[in-house]
Amino acid sequence: GGDDGGYEMKCHTGSKTTFGDWQADFYIYFRRGQDCRFPEFERDDFLQTFGKKSEKKEGRYSWSGEPAPKIHSFNDYGQKLEVNRDDNILALYSYSEDKRENKSSIIPYNEMKTENLVLARWDHNTLKQKLEKKFNQHGWFKCLKDSSNIYRGIIFGPPMNYELFISYVKTGDIYFDSGMYSGNPRPYAMWRADNRFWDSMVIERYP
């Protein structure tokens, strides 16, 4: 996407479209300049503890796919997303919800063998600024391709503020699509929605 005269431009994509790659304000692993309860617990430790080992790439762990938290319910890795009273978004871990058979040896600290441990937090004010800078000017537009990969149309959607965004995070229409993996320092913290959601927001269509 890009900014074109106050409109956020989204490119034609397969089944989902990205709002932004917006890393959390807080992660449980050690980061310089951040208060940390577990200063020995580094990013690779986080990925090995709360992520999944790759079946294709030897030694690579990722916090993506199956272990990545979604709204509404805990996954088999004991993780879920939650929006708190201040409209911050939390990635939570609960030991009792972790279905992994060897979880007692995977979780390195007794203090982590607890309920609703915050793994990551996206602060309301930070996300609001990032979202509204992109989407709350004039809105957004998206160019559409046909099956021959030729641009055939354009759709326009309305501006979106944080209140609207967070309401769709709560319903699961907008979701955290994590792609963090070992060996690459980028967080790959994508916030996305399926294209049927974007289509439902359309207010103008050309031709």
| Rounded Cα–Cα distance for residues 159 and 50 (Å) | 36
The tokens for 14 are 């397969």
| Total-model pTM | 0.93
pLDDT score for 169: 98
pLDDT score for 56: 83
Place 3 in a pLDDT band, splitting at 50, 70 and 90. low
* Strand, helix or coil for residue 103: helix
Q: Hey, how many other C-beta atoms are within 10 angstroms of the C-beta on 119?
A: 21
- Mean pLDDT across 142-154: 89
pLDDT in tens, 31-85: 888 888 898 999 999 999 999 998 887 879 999 999 999 999 999 999 999 999 9
Please, which residues bridge with residue 79 across strands? Answer: 93
What CATH number is given to the structural domain containing 107? 3.30.70.3570
Q: Which domain holds residue 127?
A: 2-17+25-206
pLDDT score for 6: 81
| Rounded Cα–Cα distance for residues 24 and 34 (Å) | 12
Kindly report which listed range (12-26, 158-172, 177-191) carries the lowest average pLDDT score.
12-26
pLDDT in tens, 87-140: 999 999 999 999 999 999 999 999 999 999 999 999 999 999 999 999 999 999
Is residue 10 packed enough to be buried (19+ CB in 10 Å), middle (13-18) or exposed (0-12)?
buried
How many domains would you assign to the chain? 1
Specify the pairing of strand 52-53 against strand 61-64.
antiparallel
Place 14 in a pLDDT band, splitting at 50, 70 and 90. confident
pLDDT score for 145: 86
The answer to whether the beta carbons of residues 157 and 19 sit under 8 Å apart is no
| Rounded Cα–Cα distance for residues 56 and 68 (Å) | 18
